[in-house]
Amino acid sequence: MNESPESERFTEQAKRVFDDSVDRLDAAALSRLNRSRQRALAELGTAGAAHGQWLRWVPATGVAAAVALATVMMMNARPPDVAQEPVSESDFEMLLDDGDELEMLEDLEFYSWLDLAGPTAGDNVG
Partner 1 sequence: MSACAATFAVSLPREEPTGETALERERQLNQFLAGVEKRALRIAEIGVRDRDEALDLVQDAMIRLARAYASRPADEWTPLFYRILHNGVRDWHRRQKVRRRVMAWFGRSADGAGDYDPIEAAADPAGRTPEDELETGEAMRQLEVAIGGLPARQREAFMLRTFEGLDVAGTALAMGCSEGSVKTHYSRAVHTLREQLGEHWE
Q: Give the C-alpha separation, 30 to 18, whole Å.
A: 16
In angstroms and rounded to an integer, the radius of gyration of the C-alpha atoms of the chain is 47
Residue 91 CB, shortest distance to partner 1, in Å, is 42
Backbone phi and psi for residue 3, each to the nearest 5 degrees, phi listed first: -115, 155
Look at the alpha carbons of 55, 57, 59, 61 in this order and tell me if their dihedral is positive or negative: negative
59 binds partner 1 (CB under 8 A): yes
40 binds partner 1 (CB under 8 A): yes
Q: Which stretch binds partner 1 (CB under 8 A): 70-78, 88-96, 107-115, 117-125?
A: 70-78
Q: Which stretch binds partner 1 (CB under 8 A): 9-17, 78-86, 92-100, 103-111?
A: 9-17
